Amino acid sequence: MYKLSACCSMTCGISFQPKMVLPSLRVQKQGNGHCTNVPRNVNLEKLQNNYLFPEISKRELNHLDKYPNARVISLGIGDTTEPIPQKISLSMANALRKAIAETFYKDVVIKDTEVFVSDGSQCDISRLQLLLGSKVTIAVQDPSFPAYIDSSVIIGQAGDYQDKTGKYQNIEYMLCGPENNFFPDLATTPRTDIIFFCSPNNPTGHAATRTQLKQLVRFARDNGSIIIFDSAYAAYITDDSPKSIFEIPGAKEVAIEISSFSKFAGFTGVRLGWTVVPEELLFSSGFPVINDFNRIVCTCFNGASNIAQAGGLACLSSEGFQAIHSVIDYYKENAKILVETFASLGLKVYGGVNAPYVWVHFPGSNSWSVFTEILEKTHIITVPGSGFGPAGAEYIRISAFGHRERIIEASRRLENLFSKREALFNFVE
């Protein structure tokens, strides 16, 4: 429900409204009145804390209570604020599948029947988990988008959460930091059935190079693994990093690709994405994965809203596509401003070139403390890196979505904060 607040950005531009108050934050009653005899799903018991973004939202709300007149800027979640490019009209789902295949996968020859239109990649992550079931083993980048791990825990693939490490048992965390050019050391990575891999990465903003992705595909082939490749930010790639895993020879036999219109076309609240399952991808028995995914999609989903699909189709027309790329350029310019701001303050900054996210290092800090101080002193919402995994503990993710004047204003406030601060790196609790 959280992202429903995205629709606010459709009506009022940037969101100054408080995010929705979640029932989970209000309901504390336990054990009063009639209890059913239905035991709670142990998988859900294992989940630690709230989902990251509602937790941010709660803190934003608390902040607004405390500072009712503050003009809060959110660089956290990244609601896209630019209007959806024009040319939206009704049309058919098959046309959208075809348009996606032709626009994004022409050179790598993906058939339209291998494209499944979804209501966003986050939803398809869960549907893929339903497809895979509880018995598979998974690996994730550390840091990474939290839905991979959380959905894995919900479906029952994970063991218990370990406070000491900040990790779930039975999940392989592949460290991706500046020390390894944000690409895991595959020589020391154990085999898993599934490898979630996001490029350009959320939160680090790093786009894996062609060489890196060749290694990844080789690794998956050698191990008989399936890569679930999240290319939601591919449109932001500036250099010659691959925009699709299917640019790598041999990938069709080992990879599924999930993607989205959300950040590509300013569709965050509109809910539209797609998943590519190549016919060549087979389970160990030789059974095609696409057959099972189609079954899941038919049973557990009923298609993206036709209105959203019509919008998606318009985005892929030549006129629409051009309009969208000017929106992407706008956000990339925002990212550049933010990168320069942090760099000028003497901080190490990553991302922002091939992605709308900027990943800022505060060595020795606790990311929630950095988050809190930035919020407290500048009224700017960021996202603490630890929400993306233990490797994000000293980082803050900054989103480049927003109106230009807000980005410039945020930069001014951040410069003001950090230039006044005695030391840059003493954010600890």
Task: For the segment 268-327, give every residue that binds its own copies (CB under 8 A).
Answer: 269-272, 277, 279-288, 290-292, 294-311
The DSSP bridge pattern shows strands 255-260 and 161-162 to be unpaired
Q: Is 61 in the site for its own copies (CB under 8 A)?
A: no
Scan residues 192-251 and list those touching its own copies (CB under 8 A): 193-194, 220-221, 223-226, 250
Cα 427 to Cα 429: distance, rounded to the nearest angstrom: 7
Q: What are phi and psi of 42, to 5 degrees?
A: -60, -25
Reported as half-sphere exposure (CB side, CA atoms, 13 A), residue 256 has a value of 27
Q: H helices then E strands: how many in the chain?
A: 13, 15
For 401-427, give one letter per residue: b (16+ CB within 10 A) or e.
bbeeebbebbbebbeebbeeeeeeeeb
Which residue in 74, 80, 81, 122 binds its own copies (CB under 8 A)?
122
Question: In angstroms, what is the minimal distance from the CB of 129 to its own copies?
Answer: 8
Scan residues 64-93 and list those touching its own copies (CB under 8 A): 90-93
Q: Which is nearer to its own copies, 88 or 408 (CB)?
A: 88
**If binding means CB under 8 A, how many residues of this protein chain bind its own copies?**
114
Which residue in 17, 322, 416, 426 binds its own copies (CB under 8 A)?
17
For 147-186, give one letter per residue: b (16+ CB within 10 A) or e.
bbbbbbbbbebbeebeeeebbbeebbbbbbbeeeebbbeb
Question: In angstroms, what is the minimal distance from the CB of 109 to its own copies?
Answer: 15
Q: Which tokens belong to 150?
A: 């959380």
Scan residues 335-374 and list those touching its own copies (CB under 8 A): none
Q: Which is nearer to its own copies, 137 or 209 (CB)?
A: 137
Which residue in 99, 101, 132, 380 binds its own copies (CB under 8 A)?
132
Choices 108-116, 240-248, 349-357, 387-395; region in contact with its own copies by CB under 8 A: 108-116
Nearest 10 degrees: Cα torsion 148, 149, 152, 154: -110
Question: In angstroms, what is the minimal distance from the CB of 95 to its own copies?
Answer: 10
Question: In angstroms, what is the minimal distance from the CB of 184 to its own copies?
Answer: 19
Q: Which is nearer to its own copies, 35 or 187 (CB)?
A: 35
Q: Is 307 helix (H, G, I), strand (E, B) or coil?
A: helix
Cα 384 to Cα 311: distance, rounded to the nearest angstrom: 33
Q: Which is nearer to its own copies, 205 or 273 (CB)?
A: 273
Question: In angstroms, what is the minimal distance from the CB of 274 to its own copies?
Answer: 11
Question: In angstroms, what is the minimal distance from the CB of 97 to its own copies?
Answer: 8
Question: In angstroms, what is the minimal distance from the CB of 295 to its own copies?
Answer: 6
Crossing angle between the packed helical segments 404-420 and 318-344, to the nearest 10 degrees:
10
Which residue in 172, 247, 253, 409 binds its own copies (CB under 8 A)?
253
Scan residues 386-405 and list those touching its own copies (CB under 8 A): none
Q: Which amino acid is at 103?
A: T
For 106-134, give one letter per residue: b (16+ CB within 10 A) or e.
eebebeeebbbbbbbbbbbbbbbbbbbee
